[in-house]
Amino acid sequence: MNVSQLIVGINGSLRAASSNAALLRAVARVLPDGVGFEIYDGMDTLPHFNPDLDAEGMEPPPPVRALRELLARADAIVISSPEYAHGIPGALKNLLDWLVSDGALVDKPVALLNAAPAGGHYAQAALAETLRTMNWRLIDEASRMEPFVRRKIAGELTDDDALAVLRGALDALLRAAT
Ligand SMILES: Cc1cc2nc3c(=O)[nH]c(=O)nc-3n(C[C@H](O)[C@H](O)[C@H](O)COP(=O)(O)O)c2cc1C
C-alpha cells in the first residue's frame, strides 16, 4: 500500500485493558485507505525526564530518541488520554516533557481525544495548555474536549455514533495536516 500520510497515536494510559487504547484502535479502523497509523507503545520505557540528560548537543536516551524519530515522521498526532485526579497521567506528562526541547515538533498538528464516558475535561484542558505552550498545533475541530463515548468501552469501540464522531475528527485532522 502506498501510504501518503502517517498519523501516530499516543495513549496516556498504561493499563493493559485501556479504553483509550481501544479508542486508538478504532482510529485505525475508520481512517481512509492510504493513511498510515501507528500507535506508540514505548511510554513505559521512557526514563524520568531530567533536563541534565536533555542538554544541547547531548544524545538522548535510546527510548527518547525512538519516540522523537517516530513523531518526527508523523504528519499528525492523536493523543487519547484518561484523566487522573483532574490532571493528566504522570507518564504522559513525562513523555511530553521529553519533547519540549524538540524543535522538529513545533507546529505539528495534534488532536485530543479521550475515551471516558463522563468527565475528563480537566485533563483535556491541561493537555491543550501544555501542547500550545510547546508550540504544537492543536486542531480544535479534530479534538473532542467533552465526552463523546457514551459507555465505557469494553473490548472494542463499536458504537456507531462514536465512530462517526471519530471519522469527523480525523477528517479535520487530515485536512489540517496537508
Ligand atoms: C487514579 C485514578 C484517578 C482518576 N481520576 C479521574 C478524574 O479525576 N476524573 C475522571 O473523569 N476520571 C478519573 N479516573 C477515571 C479514568 O480517567 C477513566 O477510567 C479512564 O477512562 C481510564 O482510561 P483507560 O481505560 O485508558 O485506562 C481516574 C482513574 C484512576 C485510576
Residues 34-81: tens digit of each pLDDT: 999 999 999 999 999 999 999 999 999 999 999 999 999 999 999 999
Strands (E), the chain: 5-11, 35-39, 76-80, 109-113, 137-138
The domain tally of the chain equals 1
Residue partners of 110: CB distance under 8 A and separation at least 6: 76, 77, 78, 79, 131, 136, 137, 138, 139
The pair phi, psi for residue 54, each rounded to 5°, is -130, 30
Return the best residue to mutate from 84, 113, 153 for the ligand 1 pocket (most ligand atoms within 8 A of CB): 84
Q: In the prediction, which pLDDT does 2 show? A: 54
Contact 80, 20 (CB under 8 A): yes
- Among 163, 145, 144, smallest CA distance to 153 is for 163
d(CA 60, CA 98): 9
Q: Which domain holds residue 9?
A: 5-177
Residue partners of 34: CB distance under 8 A and separation at least 6: 1, 2, 3, 4, 5
Report CA(104)–ligand 1 centroid distance (Å). Answer: 31
d(CA 17, CA 46): 20
pTM of the model: 0.97
Read off the CATH number of the domain in which 46 is found: 3.40.50.360
Ligand 1 residue neighbourhood (C-beta within 6 Å)? 13, 15, 18-20, 82-86, 115-116, 119-120
Predicted confidence (pLDDT) at residue 1 exceeds the cutoff of 80: no
H or E segment and range at residue 40: none
